[in-house]
């Protein structure tokens, strides 16, 4: 089975990879304050990002699993951020909820392809 993503979904994944890559490449002091250590290596993010930006959808099984893991981690982070927001931040909560909905759709496609391998 092939992974089919439209341009908006590819751009969405690229943005997630860029954000997570930026978090990983921060100084150790800042990284410790932001998120727990990720099982992914910085080079994993860079390689996946290069493929996404080149619109090269020929992922091997390891790359698909890495992408699924990254997207699942982003989903967990988003859910945590949404649950921690206070009531006055309704607009920010709505934006995060919209991002979560988009992420769930993309992750569903990636997980479906991973299951077929």
Domain count, the chain: 1
Helices and strands (H and E) in the chain: how many: 5, 0
Q: How far apart are CA 79 and CA 84, in angstroms?
A: 9
- 50 within a domain of the structure (yes/no): yes
pLDDT at 38: 53
pLDDT score at 77: 94
- C-alpha 48/C-alpha 63 separation (Å) is 7
Residue-wise pLDDT tens digits, 14-39: 999 999 988 887 755 544 444 444 55
User: Is residue 1 in a domain?
Assistant: no
pLDDT of residue 50: 94
Q: Which residues have C-beta within 8 Å of that of residue 74, sequence separation ≥ 6?
A: 16, 20, 103
Residue 24: inside a domain: yes
What DSSP assignment string belongs to the chain?
A: ------HHHHHHHHHHHHHHHHHHTS-HHHHHHH-PPPSS-HHHHHHHHHHHHTT-----HHHHHHHHHHHHHHHHHHHHHHHH--GGGHHHHHHHHHHHHHHHHHHHHHHHHHHH-
Q: In the structure, what pLDDT confidence band is assigned to residue 1 with cuts at 50, 70 and 90?
A: low
Q: What is the pLDDT at residue 39? A: 59
Is 2 part of any domain?
Answer: no
- The average confidence (pLDDT) of the chain is 87
The whole domain housing 21 covers: 7-116
Kindly state the average pLDDT of the residues 37-42. 66
Yes or no: say if 47 and 62 are a contact pair by the CB < 8 Å rule. Answer: no
């Amino acid at each position: 089975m092939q992974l089919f993503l439209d341009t908006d979904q590819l751009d969405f994944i690229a943005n997630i990879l860029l954000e997570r890559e930026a978090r990983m490449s921060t100084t150790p002091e800042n990284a410790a304050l932001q998120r727990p250590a990720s099982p992914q290596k910085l080079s994993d993010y860079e390689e996946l990002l290069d493929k996404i930006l080149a619109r090269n959808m020929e992922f091997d099984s390891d790359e698909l699993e890495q992408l699924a893991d990254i997207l699942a981690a982003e989903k967990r982070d988003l859910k945590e951020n949404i649950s921690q927001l206070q009531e006055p931040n309704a607009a920010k909560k709505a934006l995060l909820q919209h991002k979560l909905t988009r992420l769930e759709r993309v992750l569903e496609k990636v997980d479906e392809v991973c299951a077929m391998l």
